[in-house]
Amino acid sequence: MQLRGHTRYGALLGALSLVAACSGGGAGDGVITLDYWCWSGSQAAKVAAFNEAHSDIQVRHTDAGGSVDSSTKLLTASRAGNAPDVSCVEYPTVPSMIVSDVLADISEFTTDIEDAFTPEVWQMTRFEGQVYGIPQDIGPMVLLYNERRFEELGIAVPATWEEFAEVAAEVRERDPASYLTTFAPGEFGNFAGLAQQAGASWWSVEDREWTVAISDDRTLEVAAYWQDLIDRDLVLPEPLLTPEWNNRVNQGQVLTWPAGLWAPDVIHGVAEGQAGDWAIAPLPHWEGDGGEVALQGGTALSVTKNSDHPEAAARFAIWMNTAETAYELQIAAGQYPACVEGQTAAAQGPPPALTAGQEDYWEVAAHAAAHTVSDITWGPNVSTAGDAFRDAMSAAVRDGTPLPDALHETQRVVVEEMRRVGFRLSQ
């Protein structure tokens, strides 16, 4: 989750490179060597810092790529008996890695860091009370908006989703070329976050018996809300980050993006000329509900069952995500740490370039991080759910069929696969 530029990161990385060059050499007698897979930008520097600080453990880092590819590679390696000792695992795929017998329970090694993360963040790596990873970074959802365009059009930042619909209509009236936001049919994680904020829980498990509720009432209500905005031509139904979408952003014709806290760096990457024009606000909430938000994106460092050194591996994972040196490197590389102390440290620096003019950026970010939805459980076949969602939602937008129908189809596909594989289901 990239949050800001890399100037400070480059300086720190250069210093670490000099240290590594001076230290040289390989692991000596009695030294434990761990293999580590992870893909984000700060990893090489963090591993170098860990190796410099620990004479008894040395780590070899491999960039194994992110997203679905990383999970597939890890599962394949685990089945072959040669998975790394530690691997980055995206939060939604943690349960699938657990039920596939890839990840080790490291609860016994985490008692001393219980307060390092909020309960809601810990929930991302817990399964039936056991800990299967150390949280690394998080993306609490916020409303990223083009403040300059809001001022030009004389519109207010919406605090509720009801107000959001009203502002969407105002934007279309005042500038017919612009839209308040985009409904992207392929964004499974984003829609899941919006549904979770509304009270949906797509999977739950008790004694290894699963309940699947992707088409529950709260999720269908969220879908109906966006369907209404699409039907009234108040939001733009199209994929994100295409050349066409990027051009609309650069022209100031897409005014907001409800997304994780990493979103400012994404927009800055496609509209660098708008640096300082944007700001973040709390994600709109439903009238009568609290201000809790979901986490969109994030990874944990998990110890695998293939590791011959689980205690050393857990020690490494803990250091990587709680040590001051580690989270300072993480912040410098543009990531928002999962640990509470890391978030406090991040708030001492400048906001991302896109939101450079926002004095209360870190206050808004910290409030979102401190008010996340609790008790979220992802399912054992999230990748299947994501594929089914993207196919069904894209077809609905293309063919003009109801979005709620796409959720029923996603539910059907997910349940059928779980039954076929042999999971126990409550329904």
Residue-wise pLDDT tens digits, 340-375: 999 999 999 999 999 999 999 999 999 999 999 988
Residue spans in the chain of domains classed CATH 3.40.190.10: 32-139+297-348, 142-294+375-421
Using the Cα atoms of residue 234, residue 237, residue 240 and residue 244 in order, give the sign of their dihedral.
negative
Contact 95, 377 (CB under 8 A): yes
Alpha helices in 31-134 (DSSP H): 43-53, 67-79, 94-99, 119-123
Could you give the CA distance from residue 55 to residue 49 in angstroms, rounded to a whole number? 12
142-294+375-421, CATH topology level: D-Maltodextrin-Binding Protein; domain 2 (3.40.190)
pLDDT at site 169: 98
**CATH number 3.40.50.720 given to 32-139+297-348:** no
> Which residues have C-beta within 8 Å of that of residue 149, sequence separation ≥ 6?
178, 252, 255, 277
414's tokens? 């997910």
Who's near 91: CB < 8 A, 6+ residues apart?
A: 124, 125, 295, 297, 298, 299, 300, 378
List of residues 6+ apart from 119 with CB closer than 8 A: 374
Segment 47-73, tens digit of pLDDT: 999 999 999 999 999 998 766 678 889
Average pLDDT per block of 10 residues along the chain, 427 residues long: 40 39 45 94 94 97 78 93 96 94 98 96 94 97 98 98 98 98 97 96 93 97 98 97 98 98 95 98 90 93 98 98 96 92 95 96 96 92 96 97 98 97 91
| Residue 257, amino acid | W
Taking the C-alpha atoms of residue 167 and residue 284, their distance in angstroms, rounded to an integer, is 12
| Crossing angle (nearest 10°) for helices 243-250 and 263-270 | 90
Return the pLDDT at 71.
86
Q: Would you say 259 and 190 are in contact if contact means Cβ atoms under 8 Å apart?
A: yes
Burial of 256 by CB count in 10 Å (0-12 exposed, 13-18 middle, 19+ buried)?
A: buried
**pTM above 0.85?**
yes
| Confidence (pLDDT) at 314 | 98
Report angle CA 328, 333, 338 to the nearest 5 degrees. 60
Task: Give which of 140, 149, 202 is closest to 180, Cα–Cα.
Answer: 149
Strand partners, 62: 37
How many of the other CB atoms lie within 10 Å of CB of 325?
Answer: 17
Amino acid at 289: D
Task: Decide if 301 contacts 88 (C-beta within 8 A).
Answer: yes
Tell me whether strands 130-131 and 209-212 are parallel, antiparallel or unpaired.
unpaired
User: What's the rounded Cα separation, in Å, for the pair 140 and 292?
Assistant: 10
Look at residue 86 in the predicted model and tell me its pLDDT. 98
- Return the pLDDT at 68: 61
Task: Please check whether residue 377 is in contact with residue 383, taking contact to mean a CB–CB distance below 8 angstroms.
Answer: no
Contact 301, 320 (CB under 8 A): yes
Name the nearest CA neighbour of 162 among 233, 234, 110, 212.
234
Would you state the pLDDT for residue 66?
62
The predicted structure's pLDDT at residue 6: 38
pLDDT at position 67, please? 60
